[in-house]
Structure 1
Amino acid sequence: MHRAETDVLVVGGGVTGCAAAYYLAQAGADVTLVERYDLNTQASGRNAGSLHGQIQHEAFLELGEEWAFEWGPTLSLLRDSIDLWRGLPEELGADLEVDVCGGLLVAATDAQLRDIERKAAIERSFGVGVELLSRDDLQRVAPYVSGRMAGALLCEVEGKANPLLAVPALARAAADRGARLLLETEVHSVERRRSGFGVETTAGTIDCGRIVDCGGAEAAVVSKLVGVDVPVERWPIQMSVTEAVPPLVTHLVYFAKEKLTLKQAKSGSLLIGGGWPSREDDSGRLSVDVTSLAPNLRLAIEVVPQIAGASLLRTWAGVCPGIADWRPVIGEAAPGFFVALFPFLGFTGGPLLGKIVAQLALGEETGRDLAPFSPVRF
């Protein structure tokens, strides 16, 4: 079989993996990326393109304030990754439809507003600029939101990008700088050697000095091949898109009542999600769960009644990688073996995570305290 050599082997062709390959190649490293399927076919290409910059409200309610303070250092990663997103279109020479338009966490009741206020206090303590909006303020900022809503939290650093454009652009830029991309290539085994690793794949053996695991929901499969346990959870979820409608929704919208994200793409289509579960059978085959679809759409209409007349075009499923404490996993998990995983919010954090893990693999300083995100914390 074919035998190849590379300095750094990146496993995973999503946003984090392609970003890692791009930054490694940009630094002059000899880098090869392998992807089991095709580029952008898993979580990075199946999400709805939200750029998140605040503590996720559902997790806050479920896990509490102590958890939120422990998770707080993650907020700076989100902020800095969104800053990277802002510059990527010019840097890559591609329109990624990045729009940092602000996020609105909408409350239907005063009780929900009080929960939001508690969360906002923690976010401010970590330097996140958030603003509490009264009912009147909300109508002034977002007149498309139902007048029945009690208020909202505005987080100005949030927004959206097009997940169908971002990963291909990063992959092209990586290839242009010398990275090799091996698609439909599955990793079967990893043998540790004196000077690195021998990796058996469906494309042959790849000898490498370092491995960067950006496998997302499959990251645990790769890490186990080198004796590292990363407890990645699989969360099958689904999203929906409508026909194009006239400009209406100008923010990334959440709902404090229950799971919802709602935004309008550059094309005019409305993207509706929020983490409602899809179905996954024993073979890993995904399908839409219609029992999730109706309540998800009802919530969107409750917050923005004007969307009720929009025709639904498609609902699709994907798997979101999760970690029990919600914190990213970034660092050297074993000598020469690096893990880069951003649970639940991977599309937002992917560019920065790819850049950080590239720096680590090259032995460079990141200028960050990565201790809260260590892969050896489990």
Structure 2
Amino acid sequence: MAEKDVIIIGGGLAGTATAFYLAQDGVSVTLIERGGLGGEASGANAGSLHAQIPADPFRHLGEAWARQFQPALTLYVESLRMWGSLEAELGTDLEIKFGGGLMVATSESEMAELARKAEIERAAGLEIQLLTREETRRRAPYLSDRAIGGAFCPQEGKANPLLVAPAYARAATRLGAEILSAQGNATITREATHYTVTANNQTHRARRIVIAGGTGTPALLEMLGLQLAIQAFPIQVSVTEPATPFIPHLVYCAGEKLTMKQTRIGSVLIGGGWNARIDPRGRPVVDSDSLASNLALACAVVPGVASLTLLRTWAAFVNGTADWLPILGPLPGSPGAFINYVPWLGFSGGPAAARALADMVQGRTPSVAADFAAFAPK
């Protein structure tokens, strides 16, 4: 039984990025993934690189919540900066493009909300431009007449989620990390000074472990006698046939559930957090009512998608917390155990969260600028 400095459980973006940054620092790492690398939320999301405060929680949880959420905004700003150099760092094409994010308003009340939200976002380092109807029309002529203005953030963009976790894993392997996929469910045993992790009839041992299991995190924490307020929600995303590029931005709606973006090959991804169903085996599956509503809204806001053929719709679980704050850092009562859990915007925040956690695992102050006390597991 070989002993490593750190064992990471979870092979999505959180786990593979943490493995890479630890290996980059000379730490010996074994990563254990029950299925395929990036096979769950990390690869099933729509690839948005965004940091604007989502409109729905801002409206329903209020400005007091948004100000408490501000440390997460700072983390996402830092992460978007890291995304800008990630292809060079990992030595591969991730289809990253920063075309900016446009949150579209269709009423004066939504414009007022965007203005209040922008004050909080700017304080966290986001560049937010409030656009009039005319400015929105010039910048985004593909929008329908429903758009009366919007909030534009030039720092936002998109990447291909299918490429990122595998790229981090390959880069970590080049630096000496051991990456083990298709291992099945892992079990954790805490000893006096070590943790033993068993998976696929193999036993691994280390003084430190990182839980980066996404929606599988609660079961892993239970083995350590811990419970955290972690949630999983089934949502769905659709993709069209390729079309001539006409949507250069990451598009949101301020008042309704819609996100849209166009990939490098021209396919349009349509989402927005519409609910999927859960089948009798506990798996997320597409909900036809949600699909119809999502597509109708997409056609109303961006009429150009109406003529495109829908190729596929898929469902997946997304990580969540009630306060939308990440959970990062040492686990209480479990010396040497750490958690990397970024809800809702985990794809956007993954690089910065992983870099910070790799520092924490080594007993260092995170090199990422953010208030990590706000993310401490409780």
TM-score range for the pair, normalised by the shorter chain length = over 0.9
Asked whether the equivalents of residues 187 and 222 of structure 1 are also in contact (C-alpha less than 8 Å), the reply is: no
1:311 maps to what in 2?
309
Which aligned runs of 4 or more in structure 1 are off by greater than 4 angstroms? Answer: none
Deviation, structure 1 residue 97? 0.7
1:369 maps to what in 2?
371
Question: Cα deviations across residues 33-80 of structure 1 (Å, max 9, x unaligned)?
Answer: 000111111000000000111111111111111100000111111111
Question: Cα deviations across residues 236-259 of structure 1 (Å, max 9, x unaligned)?
Answer: 000000000001001000012211
1:207 maps to what in 2?
205
Q: What is the identity percentage for the equivalent residue pairs of Structure 1 and Structure 2?
A: 46
SS in structure 1 of the partner of residue 365 of structure 2: coil
| Distance in 2, Cα, partners of 1:128 & 1:38 | 34
| Distance in 2, Cα, partners of 1:148 & 1:283 | 41
1:340 maps to what in 2?
340
Gaps of 5+ in 1: none
Moved more, 47-56 or 278-287: 278-287
Instruction: Find 1:19's aligned residue among 17, 20, 23.
Output: 17
Q: How does 1:133-152 map to 2 (within 5 A)?
A: 133-152=131-150
2:101 maps to what in 1?
103
| Distance in 2, Cα, partners of 1:309 & 1:369 | 46
| Distance in 2, Cα, partners of 1:273 & 1:245 | 18
Q: How many residues align?
A: 374
1:123 maps to what in 2?
121
Question: Cα deviations across residues 172-197 of structure 1 (Å, max 9, x unaligned)?
Answer: 00111111111122344322222211
| Distance in 1, Cα, partners of 2:55 & 2:295 | 19
Moved more, 104-113 or 275-284: 275-284
Gaps of 5+ in 2: none
Deviation, structure 1 residue 361? 0.9
SS in structure 2 of the partner of residue 309 of structure 1: coil
SS in structure 2 of the partner of residue 154 of structure 1: strand
- 1:194 matched to 2:196? The reply is no
What is the aligned-residue RMSD (CA, Å)?
A: 1.2
Asked whether the equivalents of residues 7 and 208 of structure 2 are also in contact (C-alpha less than 8 Å), the reply is: yes
Aligned letter for 1:270? V
1:184 maps to what in 2?
182
Q: How does 1:7-156 map to 2 (within 5 A)?
A: 7-156=5-154
With normalisation by structure 1, the TM-score equals 0.96
Deviation, structure 1 residue 105? 0.6
Asked whether the equivalents of residues 84 and 352 of structure 1 are also in contact (C-alpha less than 8 Å), the reply is: yes
Moved more, 120-129 or 136-145: 120-129
| Distance in 2, Cα, partners of 1:24 & 1:117 | 40
| Distance in 1, Cα, partners of 2:93 & 2:200 | 34
Moved more, 85-94 or 222-231: 222-231
Question: Cα deviations across residues 346-365 of structure 1 (Å, max 9, x unaligned)?
Answer: 11111111111111111122
- 1:328 matched to 2:330? The reply is no
Moved more, 213-222 or 279-288: 279-288
Deviation, structure 1 residue 282? 4.3
SS in structure 1 of the partner of residue 179 of structure 2: strand
| Distance in 1, Cα, partners of 2:313 & 2:366 | 39
With normalisation by structure 2, the TM-score equals 0.96
Question: Cα deviations across residues 152-204 of structure 1 (Å, max 9, x unaligned)?
Answer: 11111111000011111111001111111111223443222222112222232
Moved more, 232-241 or 366-375: 366-375
1:6–1:281 distance in 2 versus 1, CA, 3 Å: same
Asked whether the equivalents of residues 195 and 207 of structure 2 are also in contact (C-alpha less than 8 Å), the reply is: yes
Moved more, 141-150 or 62-71: 141-150
Question: Cα deviations across residues 120-169 of structure 1 (Å, max 9, x unaligned)?
Answer: 12212323210110100101111111133111111111110000111111
SS in structure 2 of the partner of residue 294 of structure 1: helix
